[in-house]
Structure 1
Amino acid sequence: MIADLFSLLKINSERDDAKVTPETPFGPGPVAALEKFLSLAQRDGYQTTNVDNYAGHFTYGDDLPDDAEEIGIFAHMDVVPAGTGWESDPYSPEIRDGKIYARGASDDKGPTMACYYGLKILKELNVPLTKKIRFIAGTDEESGWGDMDYYFKHVGLPEPDLGFSPDAEFPIINGEKGNITEYIHFSGENTGAVHLHSFIGGLRENMVPESATAVISGDIEQIQAKFDAFVANYADKNLKFESKSAADGQLTVTLHGRSAHGAMPEKGVNGATYLAKFLDEIGVVSPFTKIAGQVLIEDHAGEKLGVAFEDTKMGALSMNAGVFKFSDQQDDNTIALNFRYPQGIDEDKIYDVLNSLSGVESVTKSAHGHTPHYVPMEDPLVETLLSVYEKQTGLKGHEQIIGGGTFGRLLKRGVAFGAMFPGDVDTMHQANEFIPVDVLLRASAIYAEAIYELAK
């Protein structure tokens, strides 16, 4: 299992739009990982299907009647960008202190292989089942879910009747908040003693920006002393600052914070918003830096933004300011805001608030969004998975509703199930991502019994 996992982790399967072709819809990396995963399934005797390199699947139980119910297992081979701050090569997996370190170790290649081997146990034991199993691997889960849109339109099969995604945590995720990214647009005009030429921060909308870089000119004397004073006010954030002068009098400044999953922005330190605040304080006058550095900074619940909302069951809205792009040579500069919202509010209400912000030229929305999703506790799917979890761990199961989005919501009767256990350290979307080896083994045992109990 670990050898197979390493073969996947060695593949850099970040989305790369610069290398998109008809044969590589999200770049070559995700396709390479999908092909490797399907090759493992072929090796183990499954018949596989690759749907134009968007997604693929293999099935177990082809000898069952055509009208047999089908369980879908949804995983993904793509990963978020590795970013910086790693103690080892993110695509040279290694085991240290019982933990496998690599990008994708916990999101989602590690859990995928744990679940794959759970099914492999049943296959090798030749356990009789009455439901088919379709194991589906996507390649664009971390971006726009274009893989699954294409897959369901072109695979020529009905949706599975029920299913789960091994892409979250135990005991279960039976509710997920809505998910939408909205973009606030600005002109490139800015005035003040310090002029902002450009500003870039963030790698993905669902990641807290680890760093941001700006090019400035004007009254920039004593810049290091000014930043030292700025950092002293935020000693608990462990901010790091770099600067580089150019012959034309411009200065490039970079601020490093700490990345985290965009569904839990409070776990990171948004380097872009802190850099914007610094620029705002030293003399840049721009709606872009004012909103980023005064409104968005540490506004994880959208209170200063004016979109805060909380539902008694699904919890509070969260907001991650994920990608920042600015140039004084362009009239269309953007900040991408990713919202995870509960029932009771929707993307249009958020849009209306953003449109009313002073200094914002316009607002647009991403093409892909998801409304809130919930599967009741009394559904046999939820009851079965929780009973297996309780039997295997001795811990009491309970429902969970999260801001993160998983492929579990693709089905009306779909949930996320594992592979993180309560108390585990969550390193998804962060530098030095890892999964403990013993978690993989425990999860495989749970997945084997869970698939059996659902399909026996």
Structure 2
Amino acid sequence: MAIDWKQEAKKRQDEMLKDLTTMLEIESVRDEAKGTKDAPLGPGPKQALDKFLEIGKRDGFETVELDGLAGHIEFGQGDEVLGLLAHVDVMPAGNGWNTDPFKPVIKNGNLYARGAQDDKGPSMACYYALKMIKELNLPVSKKVRFILGTDEESKWRGMTHYFEKMPAPDFGFSPDAFFPVINGEKGNASFFLDFAGQNDGEVELISFNSGLRENMVPRDCEVVLKVKDKTPIIEAFDTYVASHVVCGTAYVENNNLYLHMIGKAAHGQEPRNGENAGTYMADFLQQFNFGGDAKAFIEFMAKYLHQDSRMETLGMSFNDEIMGDLTMNAGVLNFEAQKGGQITLNFRFPKGMDENDLAKGLANFKDEYHFTLTQGDVMVPHYVSPDDPLVKTLLDTYNRQTGEHATGKVVGGGTYGRLMERGVAFGAMFPDTPDTMHQANEFVPIDVLVDACSIYAEAIYELIK
């Protein structure tokens, strides 16, 4: 019997949107300050995990929850296991929203909310694909585990905990990227540059705050300055803002000068999609007479980080023919008078290099700019051959439903797909879908979710029948 996958997905649109709305209303931002034994990453991620598992149990699936950090929804029988790896945590909403980020709104066929595109919308489309197969009572020969993590936007502790407790699936994909298929992901490493607090120039840097997460291009930058003559700086700031893509305001309060600059947020995997308010602010401030570590903090950002995501100025640029460029995102930029400052750099690196090359390149500037260097977590590059049956099946399904002749791609983003040796990322965004991940006014077109659900359903069935 031929199955009209698109029609079956369309039948379930309203029900899918209802469940998705429920998930989007949960502010599942990691907040370990409110963590408990049952909810180690804070109440939001745990609530979202519980709700998704509750939806699975409601629909007749077997579910497992692991210590408030991860869980799975299980279907089918067989020795082999297909893993579908998704996440319920979201990035902080940040500023610049036209609507409440946790009160989903549909406008002009688009669903607006934090997590609509990353990753609750795609996750729900993939879940409904699995539900469709169950409801159609199709014969299967393999087991499926729809696995949910709670910390994808940070250190992956949820999924790490899951794989410590449960065996890894034999193969699978993560619905947390783009179609046609992502069969290669760059490595991921962060470095922290710490500056002392000496701050004895004509202009004193009281504070500099920009960025929410290392994998997010900062939209906002707030600076407080202590300076006798404020007028020249205010006038220069107005001129700078008027001639660049950023906007901003300057005002005086409690005899200090406050500067607020607004750029454009974007996912840190491709910093060129955003406008980094922090490095723009440094570019503006470098003309003034700061001193000591404050001067080094500002000058390093302005000279080496501003509009240089390929690290050419630092002499660290690198390209691999298959995986592309090394990229860098200056994600969190903070300084406080007397206490010091920190610059957090997030790198996406292709095969052919590793974190030691990055550390060596940055260390060349430690003495000149008087910072200490610390390495954070590292993920190595991941690649699955285009000849793998998994990749071929996913591509064949996508091309059959879209009429395209697409091939696999490599991205700088890191998805749960890399946790499986034969794991990739698959959808849910199409090549022409606007990328609003990690941005204000994040949205997903409803027809994208329905079409993705259709592709997921056929692909999953092809992999487990």
Give the TM-score range, shorter chain. over 0.9
> Cα distance 1:135–1:220, how it changes in 2: closer, same or farther (>3 A)?
farther
The one of 124, 131, 156 aligned to 1:145: 156
Aligned-partner residue type, residue 70 of structure 1: V
> Cα distance 1:37–1:220, how it changes in 2: closer, same or farther (>3 A)?
farther
> Cα distance 1:72–1:220, how it changes in 2: closer, same or farther (>3 A)?
farther
The one of 12, 37, 59 aligned to 1:22: 37
Q: How many residues in Structure 1 have an aligned counterpart in Structure 2?
A: 444
- 1:304 to partner: Cα distance: 1.3
- 1:149 to partner: Cα distance: 1.3
Correspondence 1:43 to 2:43? no
Determine the C-alpha separation between the residues in 2 that align with 1:337 and 1:170: 28
Determine the C-alpha separation between the residues in 1 that align with 2:196 and 2:49: 41
Determine the C-alpha separation between the residues in 2 that align with 1:250 and 1:17: 33
DSSP-derived class of the 2:287 partner: helix
Determine the C-alpha separation between the residues in 2 that align with 1:93 and 1:201: 27
- 1:232 to partner: Cα distance: 3.4
Partner of 2:10: none
Correspondence 1:354 to 2:362? yes
Matches within 5 A, 1:329-344: 329-331=338-340, 333-344=341-352
Matches within 5 A, 1:144-293: 144-154=155-165, 157-222=166-231, 223-234=233-244, 237=245, 239-247=246-254, 249-285=255-291, 286-293=295-302
Correspondence 1:58 to 2:67? no
Partner of 2:142: 131
| Contact 1:206–1:322, Cα closer than 8 Å, also in 2 | yes
Partner of 1:104: 115
Determine the C-alpha separation between the residues in 2 that align with 1:70 and 1:417: 17
Aligned-partner residue type, residue 345 of structure 2: L
Determine the C-alpha separation between the residues in 2 that align with 1:82 and 1:180: 24
Aligned-partner residue type, residue 327 of structure 2: S
Partner of 1:412: 421
Determine the C-alpha separation between the residues in 2 that align with 1:215 and 1:284: 13
The one of 113, 120, 123 aligned to 2:131: 120
Aligned-partner residue type, residue 245 of structure 1: V
Determine the C-alpha separation between the residues in 1 that align with 2:241 and 2:247: 8
| Contact 2:237–2:250, Cα closer than 8 Å, also in 1 | no
Aligned-partner residue type, residue 326 of structure 2: L
- 1:245 to partner: Cα distance: 2.4
Q: Which runs of 5+ in 1 are unaligned?
A: none
| Contact 1:194–1:220, Cα closer than 8 Å, also in 2 | no
Determine the C-alpha separation between the residues in 1 that align with 2:68 and 2:375: 27
Matches within 5 A, 1:387-406: 387-406=396-415
Q: Kindly provide the CA deviation profile for residues 309-356 of structure 1, in whole angstroms up to 9, marking residues without a partner as x.
A: 00011100010000012112214x210000000011111111111112
> Cα distance 1:337–1:220, how it changes in 2: closer, same or farther (>3 A)?
farther
- 1:220 to partner: Cα distance: 4.1
Partner of 2:11: none
Determine the C-alpha separation between the residues in 1 that align with 2:327 and 2:146: 31
- 1:397 to partner: Cα distance: 2.0
List structure 1 segments (4+ residues) > 3 angstroms apart after TM superposition.
none
Determine the C-alpha separation between the residues in 1 that align with 2:384 and 2:240: 47
Aligned-partner residue type, residue 446 of structure 1: I
DSSP-derived class of the 1:57 partner: strand
DSSP-derived class of the 2:102 partner: coil
DSSP-derived class of the 1:205 partner: coil
DSSP-derived class of the 1:282 partner: coil
Q: Kindly provide the CA deviation profile for residues 105-131 of structure 1, in whole angstroms up to 9, marking residues without a partner as x.
A: 010000001000101110001111111
The one of 25, 31, 40 aligned to 1:10: 25
Determine the C-alpha separation between the residues in 2 that align with 1:220 and 1:450: 65
DSSP-derived class of the 1:369 partner: strand
Partner of 2:8: none
RMSD: 1.1
Determine the C-alpha separation between the residues in 2 that align with 1:7 and 1:229: 46
Determine the C-alpha separation between the residues in 1 that align with 2:22 and 2:250: 39
DSSP-derived class of the 1:174 partner: strand
Determine the C-alpha separation between the residues in 2 that align with 1:182 and 1:306: 17
Aligned-partner residue type, residue 349 of structure 1: D
The one of 73, 78, 83 aligned to 1:72: 83
Matches within 5 A, 1:301-380: 301-331=310-340, 333-357=341-365, 358-366=368-376, 368-380=377-389
> Cα distance 1:220–1:373, how it changes in 2: closer, same or farther (>3 A)?
farther
DSSP-derived class of the 1:18 partner: helix
| Contact 1:184–1:354, Cα closer than 8 Å, also in 2 | no
Determine the C-alpha separation between the residues in 1 that align with 2:350 and 2:270: 14
DSSP-derived class of the 1:340 partner: strand
Correspondence 1:93 to 2:104? yes
DSSP-derived class of the 1:128 partner: coil
Q: Kindly provide the CA deviation profile for residues 184-212 of structure 1, in whole angstroms up to 9, marking residues without a partner as x.
A: 11111133221111111100000000011
